[in-house]
Amino acid sequence: MAETTFTIDEIPIPFTPGQTILEATKAAGIYIPHLCYHPEFKAHGGCKMCTVLVNGKPQTACTHKAAAGQEVEVDTPELNAMRRTLVQMLFIEGNHFCPSCEKSGECQLQALAYEYEMLTPHFVELYPHRNVDASHPDVLIEFNRCVLCELCVRASRDIDHKDVFAIAGRGRDAKLIVNSPTGKLGDSALAVTDRAVQVCPVGAIIVKRVGFETPIGERTYDKNPISAEADSCEVPEAR
């Protein structure tokens, strides 16, 4: 039944029409890395971590529909080097100080960096000047760690139906903004129980006063690499 399969690194993968390469591949239990993708939401395609070669052409697996006979390359040295470079760019773009970050061990950016053996961010650090928004009683935004994945934007819009978050600005000025008269989270409609609070793949949106409650060794990625996590697109629940 070749007409309903495509191949990932020469392994035939069945798919149902309309499925993206990433969805079909996940269903088949094969890992394609991703950061801004989450099964609950419309694909975004901006982080580029899920870039694969479809018949030799780079495509984002989270947005590209599976088609019969497609030859897809995922796990090649070139693609993995590219993914490492992407992670390096994300690291120098923000202020990612893992040692004091309570998301360490639960952070998808960090886990991806481990997956692709990033030993150094390599590029010259940009050290942007960003702030912390602690105005909300239960939730804190650490803008220094935001990777612009827009998961919170999508979650707040599509699941919480609150439109608390959006991206504003262009290029390097692109930043997460908050929907409130003051622009402060404390004056927004956000509740700690919102999905938007739980989907942040990094330590940008965190629940207050619970940091470091999970001991080292018991954190998600202490146990398994992101590629081996049972469902690696399931973002660890904010505790």
| Residue ranges in 40-99 that form contacts with another protein under rule CB under 8 A | 43, 45-48, 51, 58, 60, 63, 65, 82, 85-86, 89-93, 95-99
Site string for another protein, 7-46 (x = CB under 8 A): ------------------------------------x-xx
DSSP state letter for 207: E
Q: Which stretch binds another protein (CB under 8 A): 7-15, 25-33, 69-77, 101-109?
A: 101-109
Cα–Cα distance between 13 and 42 in angstroms, integer?
Answer: 22
- Kindly identify the residues of this chain, within the stretch 139-178, that bind another protein according to CB under 8 A: 140, 148, 163, 165-174, 177-178
Q: What is the closest distance, in whole angstroms, from the C-beta atom of residue 1 to another protein in the complex?
A: 24
Judging by DSSP bridges, how do beta strands 51-54 and 57-60 pair with one another? antiparallel
Q: What is the closest distance, in whole angstroms, from the C-beta atom of residue 78 to another protein in the complex?
A: 9
Q: What is the DSSP string of 113-160?
A: HHHTT-----SPP------EE--SSSEEEEGGG-----HHHHHHHHTS
Q: What is the closest distance, in whole angstroms, from the C-beta atom of residue 105 to another protein in the complex?
A: 7
Number of residues that bind another protein (CB under 8 A): 77
Closer by beta carbon to another protein, 177 or else 191 = 177
Closer by beta carbon to another protein, 11 or else 156 = 156
Q: What is the dihedral of CA 183, 189, 194, 200, to 10 degrees?
A: -10
Residue pointed to by tokens 């890992």: 31
Closer by beta carbon to another protein, 7 or else 63 = 63
Is residue 129 close enough to count as binding another protein by CB under 8 A? yes
**Cβ-based neighbours of 69, under 8 Å, separated by 6 or more:** 2, 3, 6
Asked if 136 and 190 touch (Cβ cutoff 8 Å), the reply is yes
Task: Report the residue from 5, 52, 102, 233 that binds another protein according to the rule CB under 8 A.
Answer: 102
